[in-house]
Structure 1
Amino acid sequence: MRRASLAEWQALLQRSAVLRAVLVLVLAATVVVVGYQVSLRELYENHRAYALLEQELQEKLVAREGQAAELDPERQALNDDEQRLSRERWRLAAGEGVSELLDQLAVSGHQHGLLVERLDVLEERQQTGYRVMPLDIIVVGRYPALRAWLEQWLQQVRLLNVARLELLAVDERSGLVRAKLQVHAYAAAPGLAVPVSLADEPARQAVSARQFDPFLAWTSQVAPRGIGRVPLEQLEMVGSLSRAGQRHALLRSAGHLYRVAVGDRLGRDEGVVVRIDAHQVEVHERLYIAGGWQERSRFLALGKGAHGEVRDDDESVVERGSDAPAGLEADADAGV
């Protein structure tokens, strides 16, 4: 029966061209549908795999973002440490060279009335990331001046380290002290920028002068005050006062007026007033130079302006320059 049916279908297909065409179209459509389903399934599987991969990557990204958020404090700390390291490396030399350092040493020593007997710049030593420049220095002066100078010199922005310090009294009579010290100066790599944080630092306080000197024997005499230790370069003679045959000089310093007599101490180099006349003051100084004492005379001259005579209530005579302040007679009694 199956054979009969098959034969009938074959005979029918042979007789009908339309049936043959329909059968071909059905077969082609079947092939297309089956192929489409197979291709669609493959695309679906790929899409599903990529979706799973995207989900996995998204989870990893969220985990990494959490880890990055946990690292923010460490990153900030690292950035702060890098800035601090850069700032401290700049401070090693503060943008200056050896010549500026030596100039500052000489100027500050002169301001404190010290004598630099010897200065040796030793060979540099290379360290990791910086260089060390040892300086051997021998300075002579009084202990209070040495202490103030050393304190001021070491408080600069540039880093300086005293590796060795030795203080020896020159002799008992002079009260001078010889300081032998080795100072280590530093230098970093060139081209470092000035740190911005330097502008936020407060100004350094002025060095306070101390009169205590452990190298001098104890005495009940009071250390000179007023202008007794002011450098002569900072004094100005503005007039003189004559009373009972004794003449006093009127000196001005930092806006204050002082009266000075013969025998008074003046200046930083053991200066003593030896003569006063109407136009100048003569001061004898003793300096310790090249291992020995030398004396010199220095003068404080009255200004070149015209001067006149003014009599006070006791008929004493006051000579003063044209720039002397009014009320000079009353101020003369406010001397040292």
Structure 2
Amino acid sequence: MAETVTARAPLRISLAGGGTDIPSYSSRHGGLVIGCAIDRYVGVTVHPREFQGKLRAATDTCALVDRADQHPDPMVRACLLSAGLRRDCQVATFSDVPSGSGLGGSAALAVSLLHAAAHARTPPARELAESASRIEIADLGRAVGKQDHYMAAYGGIRMLRIDRSGHVEPEPLDLDPGVRDALQSRLMLFYTGISRDAGDILSEQNRRTLEGHSDALERLHGIRRIADDMADCLRKGDIDGVGGLVEEHWRLKSRLGSRVSSPWLQEQHDRALAAGAVGGKLLGSGGGGFLLLVAGAGRQDAVRHAMTGAGLTELPFRFTGSGSASAALPL
């Protein structure tokens, strides 16, 4: 039966360990990332008919091509081909945030498109995560890890263990409801207005890691240790400790590459701390996108006023325990 299918996958916040999932590091030392899926999404609708028998894809732009392999956007093209959506269909994508903003949007796009295409057989989350990560890492050759794809597919608050073979174990962190609520109330997201390509920024880190650059390796080892400490803080409900670890993560991460930060971005980070945040870091590869802040207890309004006064836009959110999902209507 022909169906119009809509799927959506959540975006994510990375609290600790980001960068240790990139194969140049994880294949030698193993990686550990702590992430939280949020109720902001990338959605895809697939309508399996097109009057001319072509493929029409409405993403950031609209393209009408004879076949998917002619689509001008490399990421969209790779996703369509992997999903088996080659022609005679219409695809539309939607997102709660701009592309290149550090919340795992490209992974959520891949997961949701793959989920929509495979809706009829209810694909398992691991299959979606592995297929989506293969698109970016193998097909497109991007210097990224698997954390975004697993968070989009599984959802929840998770500790992702990546062994040297590349196997990922998405272990849920079952926090006390009070701790979860406190963490959610203290975390704040602000958009810097700068979009960037994560693969481009991470390529420098990737190169330095492959070359055995001692400073880069020591920083990544430190980020890996922070992820262990972050899990302990979350289990104990030490939200100020979470903020301190986020801040320590940023001190290590901001020197991993020449494009991770800038004087203006550092100024916004420092402005937040002066207003009452106990920690902050740019999400994803850095270079722009969203600034994650851990507000001090009762300091949310002061932090909000400082950030919006500087021209940044807040993104309200809540945690979500659900990963990608799909639904269909018969045609």
TM interval, shorter chain, is under 0.3
Structure number with greater CO (CA < 8 Å, separation at least 6) is 2
**Relative to total residues, which structure has the larger helix share, 1 or 2?**
2
Pair member with larger Rg: 1
TM-score scaled by length of structure 1: 0.25
TM-score scaled by length of structure 2: 0.26
